[in-house]
Structure 1
Amino acid sequence: MKHRFDLNLYRFLTSLSRHSSQSKVCHELKISRATFNRHLSECRDCFGNELFVVNKGVYTPTLFTKQLIEYIQSPLEVLEHTQQASYGFDHADKSLEFFFYVVNPLSRLVTIPLVEGLQVANSNSKISFVDWSLDGVEFPKPDTLSVGIAGYPNDFNDQLLERKVGSLGLYVYVSKQSSLAKAEHIELSNLVEEKNVRVSMGAFDSSAYYERVRKSAGIALKQGLTVASLGGAMDCVAKAGYVFVCFDVGAEVSSDVVKVPLLLNGEQLKYDVGIHYHRVNYQHPVMNKIEQLIRQAMKSM
């Protein structure tokens, strides 16, 4: 008996057991009569058994063959449905843990859409949203899928892939008491002398992304105050006379704060958003799912 066995021969055995006819098997498997005879010979040689009794062109499986078919039928069906099953790899795997490394201001925007979208098929999915970290994305833990969400584009190494998922219009948040509160829009140059507060982006603060943005705008704002959260920034705007540049932050805005579109040379400034992840996750169905969820969240703003 041979120890190695072509898996295609299992399909041949089940087909012949089901049809008991050479012509029907050749038609179903799209093989020639010569290939049929070769397959049957290989199967008999492998198992050291006649397998089928042939009488007037009818192939009747032996008791051994019937037992063999019962044993291989179920795993063979699983293999044949592999392509269809792969469509469920998007988020139903209970062993897969998600880590999203998000810059602070974007966290509110993407958290609920990702949680709801990824838990549709598996309510037990383990999902973590943490401060942005290049190491976390570049060196993912075993059995985890790590995705970074931040400004776009960036200068990452060739082990990371990056895709733009949307753009958000930028606004200036000012106190109702400020003279800027009555403006229909504000040019970036008008903020140079204002007290600007910013929200920390964690490790992303050291990214070359911001220097590239400053150079493209040609204007550098004086940001002497950095806070840890959107809520902290809004307090500084409402109570301490600071201005804050950000995209639409929704419920974080108090009644004492006004949102005014921020322009550069007459056009509203945009904040481009991208996702980045390790090449090992390239083309995994779940990455398409995540990208789709974030794109939808961007469009809803």
Structure 2
Amino acid sequence: MNKNSYQQLDLNLLKTFLVLFDEQNMRKASERLFVSQPAISQALSKLRNHFGDELFVKVHGGLKATAFSEELIQLIQPHMSGLENALNRNNELDLSTLDQTINIALSPVVMTCLSGALYRAVSKQAPNSRLVLTSWSSSTLEDIQKGRILAGVNYDVSHPKEVYSQHMIELEGRVIVRQDHPLKKSLATLKDISEYEIASLFIPGWNDDFSLAAEAMKREGLPAKIGFRSEVVMALIDVVLHTNMFMPHSNLFPQHLYPSLRTINVLINGETFKEPVLSYSHVKNRNSPMMTWLQGLIKNALEAQVSLNTRKNNF
């Protein structure tokens, strides 16, 4: 490698390198950069010649980074992200002229309770933008890393260092049952609910192989049986309406919209169970005006929904 490698390198090639490393696929990289595949091939050839390494080898379905490439990405990515933030630092966000698609991935818990509020807020504040809400999936964190999803909202999940998490709100645990459910208490214990089956919400990438309610019961030596699982909240509601199952949820659930259901507060060791909700975004966007606005919007919507539910339930 030449002694002054930096001065002899077209820095635009590093943008191509970063995207190729993310996508591990020539076609996807070309789509993301809005250039042709031959242009990507040409850029990769220049990068290989400059660094004296193959950087990526062809494998079934795409590319695989070499060991040199793996090391190089760790060295340059923080600096490229810092450069992007520095250049965008003084860009004020003009919501009235913001014209872009805002992709957000929501866990099923949030999707059911917050979609309308988020849509109304974005439509009012950034009327030229388009809000796209998708369900949180096992690929969401990768989608955030690769720029396909701008932000995600879920419970606390393990995530790579390229993804930045920020606390939004702490929800209180509740269980949802039908109005004429045999358990008539409004405040119950784990023992009270342990004789009923669980209609468990499945969130890909978070509780793929467990249920928080079931785990809590087992720790207390109580029986726990999951009668039904789904990542679709409406499917769980339908099951709860026609059985004695209960659905673990939170004080985010708008029970007042479902008059055939009621909410039971559950104490665990004498205390209300609490679970934090966080937002997730690429670490390079953590201080951007766009992300600051979006995280504030999400946080306000969550707090407003919980406050509304509290007022409705106390009425």
Q: Do the structures match in fold with TM over 0.5?
A: yes
Unaligned runs of 5+ residues in structure 1 are 1-81
Change (3 A) 1:89 1:156: farther
* TM-score, normalised by the number of residues in structure 1: 0.61
SS of aligned partner of 1:173? strand
CA RMSD between the two structures:
3.3
Structure 1 range deviating more: 114-123 or 139-148: 139-148
**C-alpha deviation, 1:90, in angstroms:** 6.2
SS of aligned partner of 2:151? strand
Aligned to 2:111: 107
Aligned to 1:65: none
Q: Distance in 2 between matches of 1:115 and 1:142?
A: 24
In 1, are the aligned partners of 2:198 and 2:247 still within 8 Å (CA)? yes
Q: Paired residue for 1:200, among 185, 199, 202?
A: 202
Q: Paired residue for 1:231, among 227, 230, 234?
A: 234
User: Is it true that 1:170 corresponds to 2:173 in the alignment?
Assistant: yes
Q: Paired residue for 2:250, among 247, 251, 259?
A: 247
Q: Distance in 1 between matches of 2:125 and 2:141?
A: 25
Unaligned runs of 5+ residues in structure 2 are 1-86, 307-315
Change (3 A) 1:230 1:165: same
Q: Distance in 2 between matches of 1:127 and 1:246?
A: 26
Q: Distance in 1 between matches of 2:106 and 2:142?
A: 14
Change (3 A) 1:131 1:145: closer
User: Is it true that 1:266 corresponds to 2:270 in the alignment?
Assistant: yes
Deviations 1:12-67 (A, max 9, x none): xxxxxxxxxxxxxxxxxxxxxxxxxxxxxxxxxxxxxxxxxxxxxxxxxxxxxxxx
* Within-5 A mapping of 1:146-161: 146-152=150-156, 154-161=157-164
Q: Distance in 2 between matches of 1:197 and 1:148?
A: 24
SS of aligned partner of 2:180? coil
Q: Distance in 2 between matches of 1:237 and 1:216?
A: 19
Aligned to 1:59: none
Q: Distance in 2 between matches of 1:156 and 1:217?
A: 27
In 2, are the aligned partners of 1:148 and 1:275 still within 8 Å (CA)? yes
Change (3 A) 1:93 1:137: farther
Change (3 A) 1:91 1:290: farther
In 1, are the aligned partners of 2:167 and 2:278 still within 8 Å (CA)? yes
Deviations 1:51-87 (A, max 9, x none): xxxxxxxxxxxxxxxxxxxxxxxxxxxxxxx999722
Change (3 A) 1:297 1:121: closer
In 2, are the aligned partners of 1:236 and 1:242 still within 8 Å (CA)? yes
Q: Distance in 2 between matches of 1:226 and 1:294?
A: 27
User: Is it true that 1:180 corresponds to 2:183 in the alignment?
Assistant: yes
**C-alpha deviation, 1:156, in angstroms:** 1.1
Q: Distance in 1 between matches of 2:217 and 2:92?
A: 42
**C-alpha deviation, 1:217, in angstroms:** 8.8
In 1, are the aligned partners of 2:213 and 2:248 still within 8 Å (CA)? no
Look up the equivalent residue of 2:133 and give its one-letter code.
F
Change (3 A) 1:85 1:160: closer
Deviations 1:103-154 (A, max 9, x none): 11211333233223333343231221112135344344987552111112x2
* TM-score, normalised by the number of residues in structure 2: 0.58
Aligned to 1:97: 101
**C-alpha deviation, 1:160, in angstroms:** 0.8
Change (3 A) 1:90 1:157: farther
Look up the equivalent residue of 1:199 and give its one-letter code.
L
SS of aligned partner of 1:158? coil
Look up the equivalent residue of 1:88 and give its one-letter code.
L
